[in-house]
Amino acid sequence: MRPKTEAELVEAVAGATGPLLLRGGGTRTLGHAMGEVLETGGLTGVELYEPGALTLVVRAGTPLAEVDRVLAGERQRLAFEPPDLRGLLGREGVSTIGGVLAANASGPRRVQAGAARDAALGVRFVDGTGTVVKNGGRVMKNVTGYDLVKLLAGSRGVLGVLSEVGFKVQALPEAEATLVIEGLSDEAGLKALRVALGSPFDISGAARHSGRSLIRVEGMAGSVAYRTGQLRDRMGGEVTVAEGEASAALWREVRDVVPLQGKPGEVWRIATLPTAAAEIVAVLGGEALWDWGGGLIWLLLDPGRGAEVAAAVAGRGHATRVLGQGGPVFPPEAPEVAVLAAGLKAKFDPRGILNAGMMG
């Protein structure tokens, strides 16, 4: 099914007789849900775009690329830098903006500008009973009633199917530059990222892979030059600086996890404390790409290491297996929290038809 309007989406959900497998573009779906495919890719178009208010409201099936194009036309962008995971996960298809929010998909700039959830201003969605619900809106400050926008962000469709999403957007910076630091051990290279993030120089990216640490600053040209210089003075190792498009290319690689693409094995996505980032990889081995100053690890491992990953991360984060066959994908929740999550799913989707079984 591929509804073209919210009314058709309501009909599709209300009239469903069995489980539904929800799909934006299918480019970042995880987990084991089964059912009749319900695509949102037919719900396209910009509802409202006010560049002067940094506000964009679009229908959920609008391709991410189209959103990027519309924003670029006004020299703006989504601040949270959503990754394109098609290369990593081996998917075809067109990423949709609704899928981005449903996965809370956020890239390197999260350390500075927050995640997709933080940029989201409003949602409309169709719950499992076929009822349209709206929450939030188009303004940046809104504490009217409970915040279902955050709840729906990252919910992977299990509470409702997004039909419309609103975001706070960001002006494109005048300049960007990246310090590329080589010749440091993983431990020292990750420490350099933490030093940068603890400085007043407003870092918008802090990552490490392939033996190089990357530190990005963005903003007005003079300011970028100043901060690059200040950071350079504080860093050990061999430092070079990439500017403009050369810098941007480095961050597309990080964002889309290019170094791990197409390699045999399983890929884990580990959220942790930056100070634990080197040790977790030292314990588990494998090939790593660290983002968010070490707070996010993409780790390529041989299959069947799930129990070891869970043990290495226990008490200091959580791990999701984004690529691999069989077995659990999402980390388990504490029993009391799982009761609440199950309670919410039962309220919003009493028939249990929306991406049933996806989140474990």
Partner 1 sequence: MPAPDQGVIARKARIVARLRSVLPADAVIDAPEELRAYECDALTAYRCPPLAAVLPRTTAEVSAVLRVCWQEGVPMVPRGSGTSLAGGAMPTADSVILGVARMNAVLETDYENRFIRVQSGRTNLSVSGAVEADGFFYAPDPSSQLACAIAGNIAMNSGGAHCLKYGVTTNNLLGVTLVQMDGTVITLGGPWGEPSGLDLLGVVCGSEGQLGVVTEAWLRILPKPEGARPVLVGFNSNEVAGACVADIIRAGILPVAIEFMDRPCIRATEAFAHAGYPDCEALLIIEVEGSEAEIAEQLGRIRQIALAHDPVEFREAADEDQARRIWLGRKSAFGAMGQINDYMCLDGTIPVSSLPHVLRRIGEMSRDFGLDVGNVFHAGDGNMHPLILFDANKPGDLEKCEAFGAEILKLCVEVGGCLTGEHGVGIEKRDLMAVQFAPADMEAQMRIKDVFDPKWLLNPAKVFPLATTATRRAG
User: Should residue 314 be labelled a site residue for partner 1 when binding is judged by CB under 8 A?
Assistant: no
- What span, in angstroms and rounded, lies between the C-alpha atoms of 19 and 142? 34
Specify whether the CB–CB gap between 67 and 78 falls below 8 A. Answer: yes
Extended beta strands in the chain, E state: 20-23, 36-39, 46-50, 55-59, 76-77, 120-127, 132-136, 160-168, 170-171, 175-182, 203-209, 212-219, 238-243, 266-272, 287-291, 296-301, 317-323
Report in angstroms how near the CB of residue 288 gets to partner 1 at its nearest: 16
Number of residues that bind partner 1 (CB under 8 A): 79
Q: For partner 1, which residue of 51, 87, 286, 352 counts as binding (CB under 8 A)?
A: 51
Nearer to partner 1, 91 or 134 (CB): 134
Report in angstroms how near the CB of residue 326 gets to partner 1 at its nearest: 21
Nearer to partner 1, 118 or 279 (CB): 118
Report in angstroms how near the CB of residue 26 gets to partner 1 at its nearest: 22
User: Should residue 41 be labelled a site residue for partner 1 when binding is judged by CB under 8 A?
Assistant: no
Rounded to whole angstroms, what are the CA distances from 141 to 168, 292, 342? 11, 26, 30
Nearer to partner 1, 26 or 219 (CB): 219
Of 84-92, 238-246, 303-311, 337-345: span binding partner 1 (CB under 8 A): 337-345
Report in angstroms how near the CB of residue 71 gets to partner 1 at its nearest: 12
User: Should residue 351 be labelled a site residue for partner 1 when binding is judged by CB under 8 A?
Assistant: no
Cα angle 93, 56, 108; round to 5: 60
Grouping H, G, I as helix, E, B as strand and the rest as coil, residue 208 is strand
Q: For partner 1, which residue of 91, 194, 212, 232 counts as binding (CB under 8 A)?
A: 194
Binding mask 136-165 for partner 1 (x = CB under 8 A): -xxxxxxxxxxxxxxx-xxx--xx------
Tokens of 236: 């050990």
Nearer to partner 1, 41 or 107 (CB): 107
Tokens of 330: 């999402």
Of 28-36, 83-91, 177-185, 331-339: span binding partner 1 (CB under 8 A): 331-339
Nearer to partner 1, 39 or 281 (CB): 281
Neighbours of 213 (CB within 10 A): 27
By CB under 8 A, the residues from 196 to 235 that bind partner 1 are 197-200, 202, 219-220, 222-223, 226
196-201-204-207 Cα dihedral, nearest 10 degrees:
-10
By CB under 8 A, the residues from 252 to 271 that bind partner 1 are 271
Q: For partner 1, which residue of 161, 254, 356, 359 counts as binding (CB under 8 A)?
A: 359
- What span, in angstroms and rounded, lies between the C-alpha atoms of 218 and 203? 8
User: Should residue 326 be labelled a site residue for partner 1 when binding is judged by CB under 8 A?
Assistant: no
Binding mask 67-86 for partner 1 (x = CB under 8 A): -------xx-----------
- What span, in angstroms and rounded, lies between the C-alpha atoms of 104 and 127? 18
Nearer to partner 1, 41 or 267 (CB): 267
- What span, in angstroms and rounded, lies between the C-alpha atoms of 65 and 149? 22
User: Should residue 130 be labelled a site residue for partner 1 when binding is judged by CB under 8 A?
Assistant: no
Specify whether the CB–CB gap between 163 and 9 falls below 8 A. Answer: yes
Grouping H, G, I as helix, E, B as strand and the rest as coil, residue 22 is strand
Q: For partner 1, which residue of 13, 97, 115, 161 counts as binding (CB under 8 A)?
A: 115
